[in-house]
Amino acid sequence: MKNKNCLLLVLFSLLLATLAGCTHTHCVFVKGGLIAEDLNAQPRIHLSGFFYETAQGRVNVPAQITVTPSTGGGSLTLPDGRTVNISLTHSGGNTTLQLSAKPDADIIKWGVAINASADEYFTGLMERVVDGPQAATWKAGITNGMNLRGQKVDMILKPTTSVYAPYYLSSRGYAVFVQGNWPGFFDFCASNPQQVKIEFEGSSFVAKIYTDKNPAALVQAHALDAGPPFLPPKWMFTPWRWRDEHTQRTNYYDGTPATGPFNSEMMEDVLLMRAYGIPCGVYWIDRPWGSGLNGYDDFNIDPVRLPNFAESVKWINAQQMEMVLWIGPFFQGEMLTNALAKGYTLAGQVRPANGNNYPMVDFTNPDAKKYWQDGVAKLLKLGVAGFKLDRAEEDIPETGPYKIFDGRSIRENRNAYPAMYVKAAYDVAKQFRPDENFALMPRAAYTGSSAYSVFWGGDIGGTQEGLRASIIAAQRAAVMGYPNWGSDTCGYNDQRLEQEVCARWLAFSCFTPIMEVGPLKNVAFWNLPREPKYDAELIAVWRLYTRLHQRLADYSHHCAEEAHRTGMPIIRPLFFVDPKAPAAWSNWETYLYGPDLLVSAIWKKGQRTQEIYLPAGSQWRDAWHPDKIYSGGRTLSVSAELHQIPIFIRIGSMMELGDLNKEWTESAAIAQTRPDLKALEAEAKAWFEKNK
């Protein structure tokens, strides 16, 4: 075998020598080595369709490569006089492909194609179900689940479901990670059923090709290369509550006069959650919380909307909760005027009519970044423990001749911006909380973001299709190297607040790392803008699943430690553990939450049964019917009432979820009685008088 490999490499060298002056279109550039055909070895990855593009058009590069475990490369001269260099560097079972040319000043794009098999499955790239306008992500009639086959995807950030990574995984045992920040394009067998086409802007092209028969290993390798993922504090894995806008009202929802020392809506939430026995570890106040047209001027808290804010943070902390605020990557108020005068903003940005998202910070300018960080520091000094980082992909200039402070074009900056934004917030947060006892949660992400933050799924539609999209997005995010992810429970856009959709979403959110509930049109389950306004059913479901999520916090944090250390995500699609089973690829509603829990999220209204595939290699106990144990490697149909999500516990684990049926009965009974807000408020007022 050793002699045969040597011979192949010699032949490969002879081919390179022959190709050095090749100018006709039938030249073949073949990577030497043995081609493995069986499923337990390296897949046959054949690269062809190479090209580069200039303003004058596309130039085909007559080369073909079969990637195998050896290193090589070569160059060839094309009719335009340009010398193209192709190199493959093999290390640790993976291969890095590099394409470049001399001269390269006018090259604007590179492309390559990879062979595809008839039923090959592809996933990754984005949390969206489909590329295109936002609403397309949750439209009806989508049946392909996580599979991108047949889709074309522009690899450029789009609002607002905007967690992206230039990385995809194939069911054939390989994955591709395109390095850099230039926009790109993927065509998964849409134009040619036998090819994946990849195109990326820039004067050169670098991609890492991972190979492994285990899909989880492919995900882990990329997660560590792009991260490693941030390890959040344990409190991040407890339940969250938020509203979109916090109005200071004169009365609570039931007419009780609001005379407490803090924002009335925040007090209503905290007091009622405590009375119902609904745990909450994070309270998040979205914008507006400041002064000015958009409630964000100069990082100053609005004392009318949020009276006694510093003391309210301490009160929140006394309830074993942390305070999180909304922030954006732009200046407003006096900071806006000063930033424009000092040139701290992104070149090429046009001011929107509403003045929002303007002017954006140029984070490559150290002085601009410091000026913005000084504003964020005001909030950290008040005890704020984290931030929702919005708008890193909205109103960002992306075309034109402009350059950012460090000399890069605004085109290259487009995908790079979210990682710079969250890194700037991370650096200032660490100054005030050096033990990393903070959480940063952007809605936009690209390569480099995962090392500093956790993520939420943007402004998703509040419909059953929006829930379906979130179930897919949670697993796509895990594949892309973003293990700490959550969604706007019950949706954000088109908030219909349908009881069935909200109940199913609460159950699903319990089994995501971030369970954040809100904004519910700035109200709560006790005063909804439809009948029943006081929805005891949803209060009970909320109580049931927040209590379960709270009990899982240690388990979730342990899984996050594993994600940080090894790249293994918390949410694990079934094909991670049973890749040889077709059902593990097709049953996308079902996934593992860590190694010991399997859940199957229901998203269709009216559905009371669910088809579930239990992966081979383990036995599984039904958490709702503990006397029922099933062997893996089979599909079964289970019943699930409105308050139930199918949950299975791996036999042999130490996992204990408690008596879920008993807890549901207790929750349903407790939700029937409205707590006395006057008495609850009196306790808060007494605390304030003692601690002010």
pTM for the whole structure: 0.94
* Residue 126 in tokens: 């984005």
Q: How buried is 511 (Cβ within 10 angstroms: 0-12 exposed, 13-18 middle, 19+ buried)?
A: buried
What pLDDT shows up at residue 93?
83
Confidence of residue 20 (pLDDT cuts 50, 70, 90): very low
Residue 6 has pLDDT above 50, yes or no: no
* Residue 325 in tokens: 């605020």
Residue 432 has pLDDT above 80, yes or no: yes
Question: Measured between alpha carbons, how far is 2 from 464 in angstroms, rounded to an integer?
Answer: 58
How far, CA to CA in Å, does 606 sit from each of 488, 501, 603? 22, 10, 9
* Residue 256 in tokens: 């009780």
Residue 8 has pLDDT above 90, yes or no: no
Confidence of residue 73 (pLDDT cuts 50, 70, 90): confident
Distance of CA 640 to the CA centre of its chain: 28
Q: What does the pLDDT look like over 230-277, one tens digit per residue?
A: 999 999 999 999 999 999 999 999 999 999 999 999 999 999 999 999
| DSSP secondary structure string for all residues of 228-264 | PPP---GGGGS-EEEES-----SB-TTS-B--SSS-H
Task: Report the sign of the C-alpha dihedral through residues 657, 662, 668, 670, in that order.
Answer: negative
Q: What does the pLDDT look like over 602-647, one tens digit per residue?
A: 999 999 999 999 999 999 999 999 999 999 999 999 999 999 999 9
What pLDDT shows up at residue 255?
98
* Residue 692 in tokens: 């002010």
What pLDDT shows up at residue 379?
98
Phi, psi at 89, each rounded to 5°: -115, 120
Q: Which amino acid would we find at residue 376?
A: V
Q: What does the pLDDT look like over 95-113, one tens digit per residue?
A: 999 999 999 999 999 999 9
Question: Measured between alpha carbons, how far is 529 from 537 in angstroms, rounded to an integer?
Answer: 15
Question: Measured between alpha carbons, how far is 393 from 395 in angstroms, rounded to an integer?
Answer: 7
Q: What does the pLDDT look like over 287-335, one tens digit per residue?
A: 999 999 999 999 999 999 999 999 999 999 999 999 999 999 999 999 9
Question: Measured between alpha carbons, how far is 528 from 501 in angstroms, rounded to an integer?
Answer: 14
Question: Measured between alpha carbons, how far is 668 from 430 in angstroms, rounded to an integer?
Answer: 42
Cis peptide before 228 (omega within 30 of 0): yes
For each of the domains in the chain, give its residue range(s) and CATH number, in order of start.
2-226 (2.60.40.1760), 234-561 (3.20.20.80), 566-670 (2.60.40.1180)
Residue 5 has pLDDT above 60, yes or no: no
Phi, psi at 207, each rounded to 5°: -140, 140
Quick one: which of 421, 291, 294, 399 has its CA closest to 352? 294
Quick one: which of 140, 198, 147 has its CA closest to 170? 147
What pLDDT shows up at residue 246?
97
* Residue 481 in tokens: 């190297």
What pLDDT shows up at residue 355?
87
Please, are residues 253 and 526 in contact by the beta-carbon 8 Å criterion?
A: yes
Quick one: which of 532, 513, 523 has its CA closest to 454? 513
| Ramachandran sector of residue 436 (left: φ over 0; alpha: ψ -120 to 50; beta: rest) | left
Question: Measured between alpha carbons, how far is 189 from 63 in angstroms, rounded to an integer?
Answer: 20
> Hey, which bits of 510-578 come out as E strands?
514-517, 571-573
Q: Which helix (H) or strand (E) holds 629?
A: strand 629-631
680 versus 1: the higher-pLDDT residue is 680
| DSSP secondary structure string for all residues of 158-192 | -SSSEEEEEEEEETTTEEEEE-SSS-EEEEESSS-
Question: Measured between alpha carbons, how far is 277 from 280 in angstroms, rounded to an integer?
Answer: 9
Q: Which amino acid would we find at residue 5?
A: N
Question: Measured between alpha carbons, how far is 270 from 312 in angstroms, rounded to an integer?
Answer: 11
Please, are residues 572 and 584 in contact by the beta-carbon 8 Å criterion?
A: no
Mean pLDDT across 657-665: 98
What pLDDT shows up at residue 354?
87
Question: Measured between alpha carbons, how far is 610 from 195 in angstroms, rounded to an integer?
Answer: 35
* Residue 609 in tokens: 């049964």
| DSSP secondary structure string for all residues of 274-326 | HHHT---SEEEEPSP-BSTTTT-GGG-B-TTTSTTHHHHHHHHHHTT-EEEEE
Mean pLDDT across 447-475: 97
What pLDDT shows up at residue 151?
97
Task: Report the sign of the C-alpha dihedral through residues 254, 260, 262, 267, in that order.
Answer: negative
What pLDDT shows up at residue 7?
23
* Residue 204 in tokens: 């050169």
Q: Which helix (H) or strand (E) holds 614?
A: strand 609-614
* Residue 457 in tokens: 């799924």
CB within 8 A of 430, min separation 6: which ones? 436, 438
Q: Are strands 282-285 and 322-327 parallel, antiparallel or unpaired?
A: parallel
Please, are residues 542 and 503 in contact by the beta-carbon 8 Å criterion?
A: no
Residue 35 has pLDDT above 70, yes or no: no
What pLDDT shows up at residue 41?
58
Residue 465 has pLDDT above 60, yes or no: yes
What pLDDT shows up at residue 48?
97
Q: Give the distance between the most distant pair of CA atoms in the chain.
A: 88
Quick one: which of 53, 211, 28, 196 has its CA closest to 113? 196
Please, are residues 616 and 635 in contact by the beta-carbon 8 Å criterion?
A: no
What pLDDT shows up at residue 67?
87
Strand order in the sheet with 282-285: 439-442, 386-389, 322-327, 282-285, 240-243, 514-517, 485-489, 455-456
Q: How buried is 205 (Cβ within 10 angstroms: 0-12 exposed, 13-18 middle, 19+ buried)?
A: buried
Residue 670 has pLDDT above 80, yes or no: yes
Please, are residues 263 and 313 in contact by the beta-carbon 8 Å criterion?
A: no
Question: Measured between alpha carbons, how far is 178 from 317 in angstroms, rounded to an integer?
Answer: 43
Produce one character per residue of 424-463: b if its CB has 16 or more CB atoms within 10 Å, e if not: bbbebbeebeeeebbbbbbbbbbbbbbbbbbbbbbbbbbb
Residue 408 has pLDDT above 70, yes or no: yes
Tokens 């605020």, residue?
325
What pLDDT shows up at residue 10?
27
Q: What is the DSSP letter of 54?
A: E
3-state percent helix, strand, coil for the chain, nearest multiple of 5: 30, 25, 45
Residue 13 has pLDDT above 70, yes or no: no
Mean pLDDT across 369-375: 98
Residue 481 has pLDDT above 90, yes or no: yes
Question: Measured between alpha carbons, how far is 556 from 112 in angstroms, rounded to an integer?
Answer: 40
Distance of CA 52 to the CA centre of its chain: 32
Phi, psi at 430, each rounded to 5°: -70, -25
